[in-house]
Structure 1
Amino acid sequence: MKSDQVPAYSVLPGQVSGEHTVMVTLPTGYDGAAATRYPVNYTLHGAPEYPDAPRNKAITEQATEGVPLITVTPNGSGRGWYSNWVNPGGLGRQNWETFHLDQLIPLVDANLKTVPGKEGRAVSGHSMGGFGAFHYAEHRPELFSYVGSFSGDLDLNPEIRAAVVGSALMPAYGTPTVAADAIFGSPVWPLDGVWNEQSPAQHVKALRGMGVAMYAGDGGHLTVDPVLAVAENRVRQTAVTTAANLTAEGIPYRFADYRDGSAWGKGCNGKHSQQACLQADMNDFVKLIMKRFARP
């Protein structure tokens, strides 16, 4: 699909700027002509990743096998950060939040047999997508009944700010690259107001009444795959901060803090962006949301 809110974007190899792939996984027996309607989980990919990456397909299909649930994975670019950018520059509008919430969701509801209200809609995501899921749920709580983060960047603290800026400047996250202040503006005080406003960990009040779930490992042995180990260790800390703030607000949540992953899922090693860990995360999240959703 195309969107006037993101008419062009930094592309990964094989992507065409301005063309947005949206992966839709339908439940077994889905019939567009029948009266049955299904709840939807919007799940947001990480960076840099494709919405229809083979592992995303596999994770979704395994977690939803035999489950009456539609899953929608939209394009978030290698560095979209599921936000309306402050200084997009020559790329033009990068209003990812407006694109997904005000254009994609109505399009899905108009063309698929969905339960078209918050009682039939969840949002989840991995890494950058975990940030996006909480960001979307906090900005538009009227749209979602459940939110989930799989090793998400939930606190825009100095470490995560460095990661966001790095994603803007590194060609591995898409070309052309963009300025360091393109997405959230300057990350340096006193010019960092947008960063503070968009940091999910500090704005959990908006999640009151919503189902909330977070998943993270501790990186396992830090000498094995040290980059992925440290990355997971640090995003876990953002979940710990978010959990503390949820507790302070009296908001119930599930935090699957699975440490080295050995007791969480077969093959899970507690490191960042590991398919086995993400599979266990999604399996658990699907079970949670289906307990709450209006069932078909």
Structure 2
Amino acid sequence: MVAGGFTRGFTGVLLTVVASVCVLPETAGAAVKRVAADDGAKITGEHWIDARTVDLTVSSPALGASVPVRVLVPRGWSRSARKSWPVVYAYHGGRDTYVSWTRSTDIAKVAASWDVMVVMPDTGWAGWFTDWWNGGKRGKPKWETFHTSELLQLMQRNYRAGTRRATMGVSSSGYGAVKYAARHPGMFKYAVSLSGVLHLTQTGVPALVMFEASEKYDPFRIWGIPGIDDKNWKANDPYVLAAKLKGTGLYLASGLTGLPGPNDPTGGKEPVELQEVVCGATTVSLVNRLRKLHIPVTAHIYQKGYHDWSTWQPEMHTAWPLMMKALTAKKLG
């Protein structure tokens, strides 16, 4: 009886393991013919974490480097499907990584209820979503080219990503999400910024963002020297580009005081987060500009709330159904 029970138990475990392996997408782990982007960018690695989560490695000529991208695929996804899926491109902020959304929010659980794909690429330690100025010579790194050209082509050609797209970011990536929507009208149907820097040339802001970048880079390489290279600074400022956001759905949220909000921890933080104060001021500036231009925007400007995932998680839950509506994404049962 003991031996027979052990055998039946072992068989059950074995069947469970086999079943779990079998639910992985077809050809996962097998040789797959991948299509490169127009400039030669290509996927050089694919690691399936589970049936819906895959980490990619992309060799990018625009960056001159290989970078990671995390992707959540919807139920029923197949690389050989005849259909394509709407996509949310979710970017991480400075000093963070491409795993931040799945590490710090329940985005995987939220996305699982919708027939939608989520793509979470690397954005650099502080790449600032920009093709760098480099003293007017431009050249690498070209983060905007990577995100808006190379990555989109690779996802469409290899993973059935569609052209109905939304974009979402926090902190510096909130800037990136709205900036990309403005600089590439029609590329994204909806853009979400949570505590983003949305008026890049507002008084005092250039010095603050360059100070942050200077921890690792020569900050003048990104947009140039304020005052001398103002044309390039303005060409990358969502506030200046506001008129080009017409036709794009927008959800812009930020705090104003930098004080802890109802979802924030009570210890281990500075009394006031000045970073959130700056982001709040620039968000208000863009919201006011959009309203003067009669461009619809959904804004949540709150008083208290840290510059932290504890605040951004509930904001994501508010923004999510607005993105899904814009994408006409199907709710799964």
Q: Is the 8 A contact 2:259 2:272 kept in 1?
A: no
Q: Is the 8 A contact 1:37 1:113 kept in 2?
A: yes
How far the C-alpha of 1:285 sits from its partner, in A, is 1.7
Higher relative contact order (CA 8 A, sep 6+): 1
C-alpha separation between the residues in 1 aligned to 2:129 and 2:271? 24
Is the aligned partner of 1:271 residue 2:306? yes
Change (3 A) 1:229 1:159: same
- Counterpart in 2 of 1:231? 275
Report the RMSD for the aligned CA atoms in angstroms: 2.5
Q: Is the 8 A contact 2:198 2:283 kept in 1?
A: yes
Is the aligned partner of 1:242 residue 2:276? no
Q: Secondary structure at the match of 2:221?
A: coil
Is the aligned partner of 1:19 residue 2:70? no
C-alpha separation between the residues in 1 aligned to 2:280 and 2:302? 10
C-alpha separation between the residues in 2 aligned to 1:203 and 1:89? 21
Once the two structures are superposed, residues 201-225 of structure 1 have per-residue CA deviations (whole angstroms, 9 ceiling, x without a partner) of: 1211101111011011222259973
Structure 1 gaps, min length 5:
8-17, 171-176, 261-269
- Counterpart in 1 of 2:112? 65
Structure having the higher strand fraction is: 2
Please point out which of 271, 289, 293 is paired with 2:323.
289
Structure 2 gaps, min length 5:
1-57
- Identity within the alignment, %: 27
Change (3 A) 1:28 1:192: same
How far the C-alpha of 1:291 sits from its partner, in A, is 1.2
Is the aligned partner of 1:256 residue 2:300? yes
Once the two structures are superposed, residues 56-80 of structure 1 have per-residue CA deviations (whole angstroms, 9 ceiling, x without a partner) of: 4644213323122111111110111
> Rg: which structure is higher?
2
Residue identity in the other structure for 2:224: G
- Counterpart in 1 of 2:55? none
C-alpha separation between the residues in 1 aligned to 2:255 and 2:217? 31
How far the C-alpha of 1:92 sits from its partner, in A, is 6.0
Change (3 A) 1:167 1:92: farther
Aligned residues: 266
How far the C-alpha of 1:275 sits from its partner, in A, is 1.6
Q: Is the 8 A contact 1:21 1:52 kept in 2?
A: no
- Counterpart in 1 of 2:233? 195
Give matches, 1:47-126, under 5 Å.
Answer: 47-53=94-100, 56=103, 58-87=105-134, 93-115=140-162, 117=163, 120-126=164-170
C-alpha separation between the residues in 2 aligned to 1:88 and 1:130? 26
- Counterpart in 1 of 2:25? none
C-alpha separation between the residues in 1 aligned to 2:135 and 2:306? 32
Change (3 A) 1:293 1:22: same
- Counterpart in 2 of 1:265? none
Q: Which moved more, 1:87-96 or 1:198-207?
A: 87-96
Change (3 A) 1:90 1:20: farther
